[in-house]
Each structure stands twice: as structure tokens, then as C-alpha cells.
């Protein structure tokens, strides 16, 4: 029997290599669905697009920061205290405004029957280069 649609929330993680300029590159999506006990992420850092924004940006350090966010999302053992929080507080921590190189977008909502597939769809729509 199908469960139907549930509400989900999502945010994009943006790379802002030079915060003072405000230029950004979408590099990850975070998806949270309370009803399905789901918190997932998808990460894709396009190094060529990053270099186009800032040739001096450090893609290794930025990839590490994105992976750290994904680790918190997945409750990885080395994710620290934030990774041990419940799903909702963990999503709120990940989407709290920051003035760093990796910044979350505003939180948006939608309906889904499959939040994991939604994460894939949002990565394709919002992060990967257009085909």
C-alpha cells in the first residue's frame, strides 16, 4: 500500500569563495522529511566552475567542508556533536545562516513520495551543470 505524499524541506549548500563578492556556486542539496525519518544530502563540487569564480579558491578545502556537512547529515561517527542530534535539529543546524565559504540557501518545501529520489532530482536540477 502506498503512503502517498509527505512534506519535505530542502536547502542548497552554496560555495561563496570570496564572501565579499557574494558570487556563489551551488554544490550540494540537503533534504529533510520528518514523516519518513529522512535526512539526506548530495554533493557535487564542480572545480572548473569554482575556478571560474575564483582562480585562487582551494577546491580541496572546500570539498572537505562540503563533506563535513554531508557527514553531519549522515550522522557519521566523526561528525561531532551536531551529527548526534535528532534529524530535525541536525537539519536546522546545517541550514543556519553562515558567513563562511559554504553557505546554506533559504529552506524550501515540497511534497514527495520518495525523499531519497527527491535528493537526486534536486541535485540534478539545482547543482549539476545543465545538460
pLDDT tens string, the chain, 131 residues long: the values are: 457 999 999 999 999 999 888 899 999 999 999 999 999 999 999 999 999 999 999 999 999 999 999 999 999 999 999 999 999 999 999 999 988 899 999 999 999 999 999 999 999 999 999 88
Report the interhelical angle of 59-73 vs 87-94 (nearest 10°): 160
Question: What is the structure's pLDDT at 2?
Answer: 58
Which residues have a Cβ under 8 Å from the Cβ of 5 and sit 6 or more positions away? 111, 112, 113
Q: How many CA atoms lie within 13 A of 92 on its CB side?
A: 6
- What's the rounded Cα separation, in Å, for the pair 46 and 80? 27
Question: What is the structure's pLDDT at 1?
Answer: 47
- Note the helical H segments in 1-131: 47-53, 59-73, 80-83, 87-94, 115-126
Residue written as grid cell 579558491: 57
Q: Please state, as a whole number, how many other Cβ atoms lie within 10 Å of the Cβ of residue 2.
A: 5
Amino acid at each position: 500500500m502506498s503512503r502517498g505524499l509527505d512534506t519535505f524541506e530542502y536547502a542548497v549548500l552554496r560555495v561563496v569563495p570570496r564572501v565579499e563578492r557574494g558570487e556563489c556556486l551551488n554544490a550540494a542539496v540537503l533534504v529533510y522529511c520528518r514523516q519518513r525519518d529522512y535526512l539526506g544530502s548530495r554533493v557535487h563540487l564542480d572545480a572548473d566552475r569554482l575556478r571560474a569564480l575564483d582562480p585562487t579558491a582551494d577546491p580541496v578545502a572546500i570539498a572537505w567542508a562540503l563533506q563535513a556537512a554531508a557527514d553531519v547529515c549522515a550522522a557519521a561517527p566523526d561528525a561531532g556533536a551536531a551529527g548526534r542530534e535528532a534529524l530535525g535539529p541536525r537539519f536546522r543546524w546545517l541550514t543556519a545562516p553562515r558567513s563562511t565559504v559554504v553557505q546554506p540557501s533559504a529552506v524550501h518545501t515540497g511534497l514527495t513520495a520518495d525523499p531519497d529520489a527527491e535528493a537526486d532530482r534536486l541535485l540534478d536540477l539545482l547543482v549539476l551543470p545543465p545538460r
